[in-house]
Amino acid sequence: MPRVKSILTEAKQIDRAVTLIHLGARLQVLESETDLSYERLLRLYKEVSGKSPSKGQLPFSTDWFMTWQPNIHASLFLNIHEYLNKVAAMDEIDVVIKSYKLYLEQVASQGLEPMLSVTRAWRLVKFVDNGMLTMTKCSCCGGHFVTHPHEIAKHFVCGLCNPPARAGKGKAAGSLRMESATAH
């Protein structure tokens, strides 16, 4: 029944695209993760989000992930992602979607705003896949954090254990806690 199968595949792809649009994904993510045509994706995007997709390049640099607070958010997401990747038999993009939803829940439960967009989360997984970023265990707390691949684990101290001076006394109140992500 190739016809039925193709309709089901297409329905699944539309469903994924809609979910990603709801999460705020850029059009390039949808283009990369579905076989739907650009025109259809554009129409879908406008219909679901009520606006035209933002133009411009995707963030191609790994720098953002290395800055203090973004690194903690990215690490939380990636811990969830690595865990689900191991335990759940899902397509790669569905693992990203599910992990991102859990990341949002986790951040909201701590009364914080998400810093990591779904587009960046998706990009982060690509960076890890092609070896541009990895996770290194903090020598102080034992949590796993996003780092460049050449980080020396023996000396690595994460941004929670060693926040920048400017973070000051507000660090406990202002930064994300990682317990739940590093527990597994």
Q: Specify the residue, 7 or 140, whose C-beta has the smaller distance to Zn ion.
A: 140
Q: Specify the residue, 41 or 138, whose C-beta has the smaller distance to Zn ion.
A: 138
Q: Specify the residue, 84 or 161, whose C-beta has the smaller distance to Zn ion.
A: 161
CB of 162 to Zn ion, least distance (A): 7
What are the tokens at 133?
A: 């970023």
Q: How many CB atoms lie within 10 A of CB 93?
A: 19
CB of 178 to Zn ion, least distance (A): 8
Contacts 24+ apart (CB under 8 A), 86-94: 92/125, 93/16, 93/20, 93/33, 93/122, 94/16
Alpha-carbon distances, residue 177 vs 16, 50, 81, 106 (angstroms):
30, 35, 17, 9
Q: Which spans of this chain sit near Zn ion (rule: CB under 5 A)?
A: 138, 140-141, 158, 161
> How many whole angstroms separate alpha carbon 54 and alpha carbon 44?
14
CB of 52 to Zn ion, least distance (A): 42
Q: Specify the residue, 42 or 141, whose C-beta has the smaller distance to Zn ion.
A: 141
